[in-house]
Structure 1
Amino acid sequence: MAAVDVLNRSGEKVSEAQLPDTIFSIPVKKSVLHDVVRMQLASRRRGTAVVKGRSDIAGSTKKLYRQKGTGNARSGSIKSPLRRGGGVIFGPTQRSYAYNLPKKVRALALKMALSSKLATDSLRVIDGFGLEEIKTKAFVDVTRALGLKKVLVVTSDDDRNLFLSSRNVPGVKVIKTEGLNVYDILKYDKLLLVESSIQGIEGRLG
């Protein structure tokens, strides 16, 4: 197991935490991380772009003029895509871009993302924020004491003060252990674990 320092709100070491090698010391494969990030981003696409085809246009289906004898090209409905105000040919329709990878691949990618943060010394552990009230300044003071700017904070508790105090701070995101994902881990420069969340991560990936 890898030992990491547990810091307090002032950035001082208060103890050590043990991180299991089966989660935080996995060889990193960029291809696996790439596949999972693509899956996450595809699932976030709304897929609501849609246009009207000729069957969706309001208008008569009466033949505009006789087939022969006018000197014009033969013409049918006024809703033809060749006419102004007609339907669109092969336009986008509402769809879902989401797809799934195997559960084991997603779990492996999450372990790799955590391992990459530990390997690059981008992982910190704090014993707790202990915010007594909703105050952005108090949260910012803690991140400054730890020397963190663009950081993802992971907590196991439903700490309302922590979530509301951090929501207006740019470059910071707070999520619960259940919502930990590969994209967010890789997006932020630093990963800050509240000490109690380590056990939750072990329970999820162990």
Structure 2
Amino acid sequence: MALSISRRVLRSFGSLSGFGRCGDSSCLTSQSFRASHDLYGHVSWDCLFSAESSSFIKGAVSSLAHRRLLTSNVTSESNDGSFPSDLLSAKNVVTPQREIGLYQDLVIPVTNFHNEDKGLMVLAGDVFDVPIRKDIIHRVVRWQLAKRQQGTHSTKTISEVSGTGRKPYRQKGTGRARHGTLRGPQFRGGAVMHGPKPRSHAFKLNKKVRRLGLKIALSARAAEGKLLVFEDLEVPSHKTKNIVNYVNEMENTKKLLVVDGGPINEKLKLATQNLHYVNLLPSIGLNVYSILQHDTLVMSRDAVNKIVERMHTPIKR
């Protein structure tokens, strides 16, 4: 980061006693040295200089070139005397952190399994930078788990239990309770009253809520820095060690979800089928529950484009 030097001091460099070595017009004046408006303070010159001031100019340019290499902020409080304190700002320069949920487009680097630089990609802000809402995530996850429940559990009623229909003993005179069948729920091997029957546990959830849940899950991974975009999901071979070595190089990664735009590559399938911590999904199958189960999400460039297209498709009522 650049030094925090006020523009007023830069404009007055020409009038300082250290710069005015001669009185003729060929020397450096305050009008011939202007600070540019960019971050690193590039210098523009309006006139030619004499040989007498050339040595000073070289020193000034070298000092400005040295300023570009600085990576820390120097203020009047943290200065150790190596830089004039009157040229430094009294306040600390703090880089503002990005706020989540402002629907701003995100720029993310694109790489691959070989850690090669494949450029940048812009992620749509209305898909990858939406406000985080836990209540929406909770509703979508409950809807997913209820919808995938099989509901094949079944018990037998009194008409379905195997057994005789004869009355076990006479109605009166025995001193025992009256019974008409031995297939009742009070007998061992009898029926189950009000037991479960095969049914669907699914309930309705609006499409807008389901779509918003997926956006929130993607935004959460992008905000955590756990969203990686690959140019493609090509692997050199079907050997499992290729994926194992790549996952071991990643920091704080326990489970990895890889999403491709179309059908999964066969080599990638074979390389990950023995790894319980790496799962593959096509973009059409990406869902909230799978994203929450994995701490790192890897998506191909094609998968990102298809997810954005899917989120922008109008909902048919």
Structure 2 gaps, min length 5: 1-104, 313-317
From 173, 179, 186, the counterpart of 2:285: 179
Is 2:257 the counterpart of 1:152? yes
Is 2:252 the counterpart of 1:161? no
- TM-score normalised per structure 2: 0.61
Is 2:124 the counterpart of 1:20? yes
Task: Quote how far apart the aligned CAs of 1:146 are.
Answer: 4.6
From 32, 35, 51, the counterpart of 2:155: 51
From 186, 189, 192, the counterpart of 2:295: 189
Alignment deviations for residues 54-85 of structure 1 (CA, whole Å, 9 cap, x no partner): 11111221222221122221110121111222
Task: Quote how far apart the aligned CAs of 1:185 are.
Answer: 0.8
Percent identity, please: 38
Q: What pairs up with 1:1-206 in 2 under 5 angstroms?
A: 1-147=105-251, 148-158=253-263, 159-206=265-312
Task: Quote how far apart the aligned CAs of 1:9 are.
Answer: 2.1
CA distance in 1, matches of 2:141, 2:186: 41
Amino acid at match of 2:169: Y
Structure 1 segments, 4+ long, off by >4 Å, are 145-148
Amino acid at match of 1:184: S
Query: Which structure exhibits the higher relative contact order, with contacts defined as CA atoms closer than 8 Å and separated by 6 or more residues?
Result: 1
RMSD: 1.6
Task: Quote how far apart the aligned CAs of 1:108 are.
Answer: 0.8
Cα contact 2:233–2:260 (8 A) shared by 1: no
Report how many residues are paired: 206
Alignment deviations for residues 71-113 of structure 1 (CA, whole Å, 9 cap, x no partner): 2211101211112221122222222212231111101110111
More displaced, 88-97 or 2-11? 88-97
Alignment deviations for residues 167-205 of structure 1 (CA, whole Å, 9 cap, x no partner): 211211110000000001111101111122111111111
CA distance in 2, matches of 1:196, 1:149: 25
Structure 1 gaps, min length 5: none
CA distance in 1, matches of 2:197, 2:298: 42
Aligned to 2:199, the other structure's residue is in SS state: coil
Task: Quote how far apart the aligned CAs of 1:35 are.
Answer: 0.3
Task: Quote how far apart the aligned CAs of 1:132 are.
Answer: 4.6
Aligned to 2:184, the other structure's residue is in SS state: coil
